[in-house]
Amino acid sequence: MAEQALPFYQEAQDFGACVRLYCELGDVQGASKIAMTSSDPRACFNLARYFEANQDFGEAIIYYGKSGRVSHAIRLAKESGYDQQVMTMSLTSSKPIMIQSAQYFEQKGKFDKSVQLYSRGGNKRRAMDIAMKHNLAHMIEDISTGVGDGDDPEVLKSSVDFLMQNQQFEKAVEIMISLGQLDEALSISEQHNVVLKEELAQKLIPPKADNPMKQKERTEILLRIAKMVKRQGNFKFGAKVYTMANEKMKGLKCLLKSSDMKAVIGFAQNARQTEVYILAGNFLRN
């Protein structure tokens, strides 16, 4: 009787019923073919349930995933010890599932996976606690990546302390800037010769101000940054920062170290300053 019902299910394109019937008849190959060709969620789910009942957990996990029942797939992967599948599926799942899987890995002592999932799931405080407790210095950057207004300031401050202890100064500086600790960030950069890329350096520069005291502070910061990038060999950017500080001669002297004739000519033409013209002329003559 079951075999006679199959053509009607096929005609109705009820792939879920077709797979269930094939499984009842013991024709797993036929059930798998329908599930694969149709990609019907109900068909894949029925096939997954059959595989799980018959302890073919690897196949069951695959078809639970294909059916869209990710929670079923992750649950079975945990129960049967398929930890890599747990990790892979959790990373593309909802945040609550990420947190559940993070707890699972934490209990198993797989702290690197736990930290990654806690962080992705939004519980950066717990991720940071585990990373620091187990000295996972390489994971701190992942936790701190993409910091924004919604992040816990205490977590970020803890990450700065940890990064400093582990001499990861560049990343520490980035987080300090995100926290608005610009003076501290610049001081750390100077003390440890953190390579200041232009994008990072621009964040350290205060906006222009009408207040003379504020403008003086801005100029001092510009000169500190210019000296740093010049020392690091970024002469073109150094010249730009010196110019922002209204130190065009220092800017040109910095630029001359690049030996870029075209850049020197362009700088001199834009500067419109007698001393700059003379210095540029002497350089080009020689």
Which domains, from first to last, does the chain contain? Answer: 157-194 (no CATH), 208-286 (1.25.40)
Q: Please tell me the predicted confidence (pLDDT) of residue 140.
A: 75
CA 242, CA 14: separation in Å to the nearest integer? 73
Cβ–Cβ under 8 Å, residues 26 and 53? no
CA 159, CA 48: separation in Å to the nearest integer? 43
| Mean pLDDT of the 242-255 span | 93
| Mean pLDDT of the 64-70 span | 90
Sign (positive or negative) of CA dihedral 116, 117, 122, 128: negative
Q: Please tell me the predicted confidence (pLDDT) of residue 60.
A: 92
Q: Which of 227, 267, 246, 270 is nearest to 280 (CA)?
A: 267
| Mean pLDDT of the 131-154 span | 69
Tens digit of pLDDT for each residue in 178-202?
A: 888 899 999 999 999 999 989 989 9
pLDDT band at 6 (very low <50, low <70, confident <90, very high): low
Sign (positive or negative) of CA dihedral 193, 195, 200, 205: positive
Q: Percentage of the chain surpassing pLDDT 70?
A: 90
Given a cut of 80, whether residue 96 has pLDDT beyond it is yes
Q: Please tell me the predicted confidence (pLDDT) of residue 88.
A: 92
Q: Please tell me the predicted confidence (pLDDT) of residue 118.
A: 92
**The CA-based dihedral angle spanning residues 235, 237, 240, 245, taken in that order and rounded to the nearest 10 degrees:** -90
Paired tokens of 159:
């990450």
Convert the chain into a string of H (helix), E (strand) and C (coil): CHHHHHHHHHHCCCHHHHHHHHHHCCCHHHHHHHHHHHCCHHHHHHHHHHHHHCCCHHHHHHHHHHCCCHHHHHHHHHHHCCHHHHHHHHHCCCHHHHHHHHHHHHHCCCHHHHHHHHHHCCCHHHHHHHHHHCCCHHHHHHHHCCCCCCCCHHHHHHHHHHHHHCCCHHHHHHHHHHCCCHHHHHHHHHHHCCCCCHHHHHHHCCCCCCCHHHHHHHHHHHHHHHHHHHHCCCHHHHHHHHHHCCCHHHHHHHHHCCCCHHHHHHHHHHHCCHHHHHHHHHHHHC
Given a cut of 80, whether residue 10 has pLDDT beyond it is no
| Mean pLDDT of the 192-214 span | 90
Q: Mean pLDDT: which of 19-28, 179-188, 271-280 is highest? A: 179-188
Whose tokens are 């990343």? That residue is 171
- 0.85 exceeded by the pTM? no
Q: Please tell me the predicted confidence (pLDDT) of residue 215.
A: 92
Q: Please tell me the predicted confidence (pLDDT) of residue 234.
A: 94
Given a cut of 70, whether residue 13 has pLDDT beyond it is no
Q: Please tell me the predicted confidence (pLDDT) of residue 237.
A: 94
Q: Please tell me the predicted confidence (pLDDT) of residue 71.
A: 92
Given a cut of 50, whether residue 142 has pLDDT beyond it is yes
Given a cut of 60, whether residue 9 has pLDDT beyond it is no
Q: Mean pLDDT: which of 83-97, 127-141, 266-280 is highest? A: 83-97
Rg (CA), the chain: 31
Greater model confidence, 18 or 73: 73
Q: Please tell me the predicted confidence (pLDDT) of residue 17.
A: 77
Given a cut of 70, whether residue 148 has pLDDT beyond it is no
Q: Please tell me the predicted confidence (pLDDT) of residue 149.
A: 47
The average confidence (pLDDT) of the chain is 86
Cβ–Cβ under 8 Å, residues 184 and 162? no
Given a cut of 90, whether residue 101 has pLDDT beyond it is yes
Cβ–Cβ under 8 Å, residues 195 and 232? yes
Q: Please tell me the predicted confidence (pLDDT) of residue 8.
A: 45
